[in-house]
Amino acid sequence: MEITADMVKELRQRTGIGVMECKEALKEAEGDLEKAIGVLRKKGYARAHDKMNREAAEGLVGSYIHMNGKIGVLVEINCESDFVARNDEFKELVKNVCLQVAASNPKYIGPEDIPAAVLEEEKEIVRAQFKDSQKPAEIVEKIVQGKLKKFYEEVCLLDQVYIKDDKLTIRQLISSAIAKIGENIKISRFVRFEVGKP
């Protein structure tokens, strides 16, 4: 079966993996998109997952100042080697994460960084909304979990939809970069300044 550019493009949009890997996965899956996603997960994402446990002590601090000078961002992204830190693809990733922080104003890197008190308060707000609804407790808890997922998408950088591609989250963007570059990459910290806001 012929693998078309459109097929590769769609698979790439859905997974965030590189063009050649997508093409190979589609060949292996005989053009079946869902099977190709499985192939990529086994190869690229499995590889990326293994690399996520390796120490990342090199990297860059990226910065971005919004044109009017009202918003400024600093982001530290780490990798395993100085060689990768100087790589143009890595620099582009750092730049794009800076833009994401400027545009989306996340509060935390990931859900594990949210203080327990903040998380509990968010759960209580949702539970209070359904207090008089007569819904069973287990249904309310499922609703709470669903609302928490939405909360993470708003306040956690890794769970946010990537501003340059709404089919990717920042977590998927980082995983794709790990699979492509071949080193562990992690966002260590960020700070966002906005004039007149604490």
Domains of the chain plus CATH, in order, are 5-51 (1.10.8.10), 58-109+156-194 (3.30.479.20), 115-155 (no CATH)
Rounded to 5°, the CA angle 122-169-159 comes to: 20
Residue 82 CA to residue 105 CA, distance in Å, equals 29
The amino acid occupying position 170 is I
Q: Any long-range contacts for 19-24 (C-beta under 8 Å, 24+ apart)?
A: 21/179
* Residue 78: both structure tokens together: 């780490």
Contact call for residues 78 and 188 (beta carbons, < 8 A) = yes
Q: Summarize pLDDT for 130-170 with one digit per residue, the tens.
A: 877 788 878 888 888 888 999 999 999 999 999 999 999 99
Higher pLDDT, 53 or 152: 152
80-99 pLDDT tens trace = 988 999 999 999 999 999 99
The pLDDT, as a whole number, for residue 48 is: 54
Residue 158 pLDDT: 96
pLDDT of residue 68: 86
Return phi, psi of residue 77, to 5°: -120, 130
pLDDT score of 35 more than 90: no
- Write the CA distances from 127 to 50, 72, 130, 145, 170, integer angstroms: 38, 36, 5, 11, 29
Q: What pLDDT is attached to residue 10? A: 80
pLDDT band, very low/low/confident/very high, at 50 (cuts 50, 70, 90): low
Q: How far apart are CA 29 and CA 166, in angstroms?
A: 25
Contact 179, 44 (CB under 8 A): yes
Q: Taking all residues of the chain, what is their mean pLDDT, rounded to a whole number? A: 87
Angle at 163 between CA 112 and CA 88, to 5 degrees: 90
